[in-house]
Amino acid sequence: MKYEKLAKDIIENVGGKENVNSLTHCVTRLRFKLKDESKANTEVLKNMDGVVTVIKSGGQYQVVIGNHVPDVYKDVVIIGGFGATSEEGEQPEEKMSAFNKFIDIISGVFTPVLGVLCATGMIKGFNALFITLKWLSPTSGTYAILNAIGDSLFYFFPIFLGYTSAKKFKGSEFIGMAIGACLVYPTLSTLTAGKPLYTLFASTMIESPIFVTFLGIPVILMTYSSSVIPIILATYVGVKIEKWFRKIIPDVVKTFLVPFCTLLIIVPLTLIVIGPIATWAGKLLGSATASIYALSPIIAGLLLGAFWQVFVIFGLHWGLVPILINNLAVLKYDPVLALMFGASFAQTGVVLAILLKTKNTKLKSLCIPAFISGIFGVTEPAIYGVTLPRKKPFIISCIGAGIGGAILGAMGSKLYMFGGMGIFGIPSYIGPAGMDTGFYGAIISIIVSFLLGFLIMFFAGFKDEQPSEGKKEEKREGALVKQETVVSPLRGEVKNLSEIQDEAFSKGLLGKGIAIVPKEGKVVAPVDGVITTFFPTGHAIGITSNSGAEILVHIGMDTVELEGKYFYPKAKQGDTIKAGQVLLEFDMEGIQKEGYSLISPIVVTNSESYQDVIRTNKNNIDYNEELLTVMI
């Protein structure tokens, strides 16, 4: 497995697999639901090679990886055994606010289908582009087949959402799919032919002709293809019904009687009650968003464009995804999320300016992949790796995105399909009339957003981080990296900090580092520096290196209780020391006879000040051999 070590480290630092309720991933993030977020070592994960940052939002613990997150996800699933955990309903639910629960449900339902939804939308978008450019004829077989691929998922969306909704609500996925299939069953649409039996809610906005009944109960027939809200609500109620039947039906006949009874109740209930009410709610939501947009498209574009990346950082954009998909189903277009199109291009323009201006080779190495992924709409590497940590570039990207959004609003740009991101999103702005003002507005918007981000950043400047003198440097993966070597203060067997019983060390709360089970009762200085703390009990030594690394050498666990017995200091607090100098001797046999563990952590207590602390790969180590590498 390519990312085996990274996967193990991630699992360890989210609190172990026993702390994981569920795991999914999106374009750039591993999305954990943890039983107890306090058990996760957030700072350790943030400073880990291969992790961009950690975001806690919407009831999820999100570990941002980058574009290769699917490969990391596979290794995490294999190592953690998460794929085998199907009875998620038996696990304790995490308490969340109503808003966080809403965001969690939306992300859980839509995340699994976003990839294929974008793919089919792109195909449909490019098909529209080919027709506009007269490369294809609407009557050709090529057009028909490409259109079938592009329309397939969205037309049968209730079936797909039936699966993901049932999985999210912890029910049978295939019952969810069956509910969705009933909603788009072709024969139902033919029942509206001829004269209606009678009309319900006559002379109101929800006037409904009745063509068929179910056991004498009127059925309001709706068009559910491409719909979103009806299937999610129907599946939610269906899972409740399914769980009730599972409790009362004997195990020997559960396999077929549970779905039999569930479908007999939920499908008619959906067609008679849930479906119509959800459809009306969807139409109301579509009209409301269109009305708000119509008040001032320019201001709406300015605000949504400027704050879109902020929404993404906190996971709040998930709250707008159902509005987009609902509008596509109800209005056949979406004017709302269309306004954020310039955001990724503004971010990419800022990154390009930094790439051209910086003299810091490490920053350049971050900018290159961030720029490439940003062109295709994936901006997390740019946000978390380049602009957000430096604040000013991120603000400039928001300004560019806001101006781009205002242009989109002013020119009436609309999304006509859920398509790709970045440059692949351009065909999504081609409507039934072809390349209209809205389409050209989208083109102008991304160009202006990109140029504004680039030019403002290029001329405004930023605080460039220069390599400082007097520190050891090396080339690593093409970047110039400063480092300090910490040699071993002990001779013995090397262990991970996670193997220590004391949680302060095992969870990395005191810093990143390593542990050693000593084979000799002697401690030597791990670096050149000063002894800043020598505990009176002799069991622990705090050292500050000449380069500023703060190192703690702690002999044994709970050995402070020995009150100095068996410890014999050979130096004192305030001494200037050289690497390899003897600092302490201790009686291993005496300590063990008293019942204390000798496992000894060596940690860099100011780890957060450094890019990383890399441990040795050796299983056994001697004095003065390289133990830790502090990346400055």
What amino acid positions are annotated as catalytic residues?
26, 554
Answer positive or negative: Cα dihedral of 536, 537, 541, 542. negative
Residue type for 320, please?
L
Q: Whose structure tokens read 């062109």?
A: 375
Q: Which string of b and e fits 556-590 if b means at least 16 CB within 10 Å?
A: bbebbebeeebbebebeeeeebebeeebbebebee
Spatial distance between the Cα atoms of 120 and 427, rounded to a whole number of angstroms: 12
SS (H, E, C) 570-617: CCCCCCEECCCCEEEEECHHHHHHCCCCCCEEEEECCHHHCCEEEECC
Spatial distance between the Cα atoms of 235 and 177, rounded to a whole number of angstroms: 9
Residues 370/388, Cβ–Cβ less than 8 Å: no
Q: Whose structure tokens read 């269906």?
A: 238
What is the rounded end-to-end Cα distance, in angstroms, of the chain? 29
Token digits of residue 483: 């480092």
Spatial distance between the Cα atoms of 171 and 266, rounded to a whole number of angstroms: 13
Total residue length of the chain:
632
Residues 150/428, Cβ–Cβ less than 8 Å: no
DSSP per-residue letters across 197-251:
SEEESTTSTT-EEE-EEETTEEE-----TT--HHHHHHHHHHHHHHHHHHHHS-G
For residue 198, CA distances in Å to 205, 210, 218, 236, 445 come to 16, 5, 9, 31, 51
R_g (Cα) of the chain, nearest Å: 30
Helix (H) or strand (E) holding 446: helix 437-460
Token digits of residue 238: 């269906």
Spatial distance between the Cα atoms of 426 and 410, rounded to a whole number of angstroms: 18
Q: Whose structure tokens read 């172990």?
A: 16
Spatial distance between the Cα atoms of 430 and 418, rounded to a whole number of angstroms: 12
Spatial distance between the Cα atoms of 542 and 293, rounded to a whole number of angstroms: 61
Token digits of residue 63: 């570990």
For residue 569, CA distances in Å to 64, 339, 550 come to 45, 68, 20
Token digits of residue 100: 């966080």
Spatial distance between the Cα atoms of 80 and 396, rounded to a whole number of angstroms: 41
348 in helix, strand or coil?
A: helix
SS (H, E, C) 367-399: HHHHHHHHHCCCCHHHHHHHHHHHCHHHHHHHH
Among 518, 510, 497, smallest CA distance to 606 is for 510
